[in-house]
Amino acid sequence: MVSTTQVTMSAPTKLKEKALQTLGELPPFSPILSKLLATLAKDDASFGSLGDLIEKDAVVAGNVLHLVNSAAYSRRAKINSVRHAISVLGVNKLRNAVLGMSVARMWKSVTMPSGWSTARFNQHSAATAILSDLLVQHATVDYSEGAFVSGLLHDIGLLLIAWALPHHYAEIQTQAATGIYRDIAEREVLGFSHAELSASALAVWKLPEPIQTAVRAHQEEPTSVITLGRVLGAADRYVDSIGLSIQAQPAKESDTGPIQALGLHPSLIAALAADFQVECKAMMQFLQ
């Protein structure tokens, strides 16, 4: 005979499995997305291989040229080739931009419940990814090369909850509206947080373990050790504070506290904030 305790303990597992099963309903990764994600476990993509990948996808190639010629980057002469675009922006920045565009395009094919904004989700994810990548250039952490993808996919668990478990998502929303922290509401309703579900989804996709670990930890209380998860959490909190949140809410005073706690000088934080604004402005045109 199965005890009541055993039934109760198995409920979160069943809910998590149901949410993860919806990953199979997503369209298959595009060839360019699959190959770019594969580079995360290896060395950075080379100039030539990235150019070859982008040129084989007409939509992505067009977006790359639109990006590099956008007003945000203030180029004097028009750039007409993908190879020239890579030489101007650099391999890593172009790779990150293409990852962001490709993942955002995938989410647009998903039918979400009323009240969910895929545009806001994409904008928050991309902004967190951009800032995380900027921060690890000045804060020494293990596996810094995974910062952008960690930011880009850190909230996929929230999307899966809204998509696969809409009634539970609605209950979480109701509790959060009363002032309860979302993490607490998620654990109360589901038995796990969206950060844990995000990490499980990335494990299904076989992304590197350091990325899974960072995503799982991004909402935890920071430790004295500066980790990729702590950098991700600082970026996530800052992005929310300036109004680029998944849930519609007005912008507040920018919260740089967690970023300052990484040991960065205020003048450097100001410079990073300016770079962040430029990169966000360039990327957001593709995430509406």
Of 2 and 274, the structure prediction assigns the larger pLDDT to 274
Residue 112 is given by DSSP the state -
pLDDT at 34: 84
Please choose, from the candidates 66, 34, 50, 39, the residue with its C-alpha nearest in 3D space to the C-alpha of residue 283. 66
Element (H, E) at 201: helix 194-204
Categorize the per-residue pLDDT at 175 as very low, low, confident or very high, splitting at 50, 70 and 90. very high
Categorize the per-residue pLDDT at 142 as very low, low, confident or very high, splitting at 50, 70 and 90. very high
Q: Is the pLDDT of residue 121 over 60?
A: yes
Residue 245 contacts residue 142 (beta carbons within 8 Å): no
Q: Which CATH number fits domain 1-26+113-288: 3.40.430.10, 1.10.3210.10, 3.40.50.740, 3.10.20.90?
A: 1.10.3210.10
* Greatest distance between any 2 Cα atoms in the chain: 75
Q: Where are the extended beta strands (E) located within the chain?
A: none
Please choose, from the candidates 217, 187, 221, the residue with its C-alpha nearest in 3D space to the C-alpha of residue 202. 217
List pLDDT tens digits, range 188-225: 999 999 999 999 999 999 999 999 999 999 988 877 88
pLDDT at 32: 83
Categorize the per-residue pLDDT at 27 as very low, low, confident or very high, splitting at 50, 70 and 90. confident
Q: Enumerate the domain spans of the chain.
A: 1-26+113-288, 28-109
Report, as an integer, the average pLDDT of 271-279. 93
List pLDDT tens digits, range 73-117: 767 788 999 999 888 888 888 888 889 988 888 888 888 988 899
Categorize the per-residue pLDDT at 7 as very low, low, confident or very high, splitting at 50, 70 and 90. very low
For the ranges 20-29, 37-46, 68-77, 138-147, which has the lowest average pLDDT? 37-46
List pLDDT tens digits, range 232-271: 999 999 999 999 999 877 667 788 999 999 999 999 999 9
pLDDT at 44: 54
Instruction: Please tell me the pTM assigned to this model.
Output: 0.89
- In a 13 Å sphere around the CA of 139, the CA atoms on its Cβ side amount to 29
Tell me the pLDDT of the chain averaged across its residues: 88
Please choose, from the candidates 72, 93, 33, 41, the residue with its C-alpha nearest in 3D space to the C-alpha of residue 211. 41
Produce one character per residue of 194-229: b if its CB has 16 or more CB atoms within 10 Å, e if not: bbbbbbbbbeeeebbebbbbbbbbbbeebeeebbbb
pLDDT at 59: 86
Structure tokens of 236? 């996530």
**Type of residue numbered 191:** G
Nearest-angstrom CA–CA distance, 135 and 185: 30
Which string of DSSP letters, residue by residue, matches 175-225? HHHTT--HHHHHHHHTSS-HHHHHHHHHHHTT--HHHHHHHHHTTSPP-SS
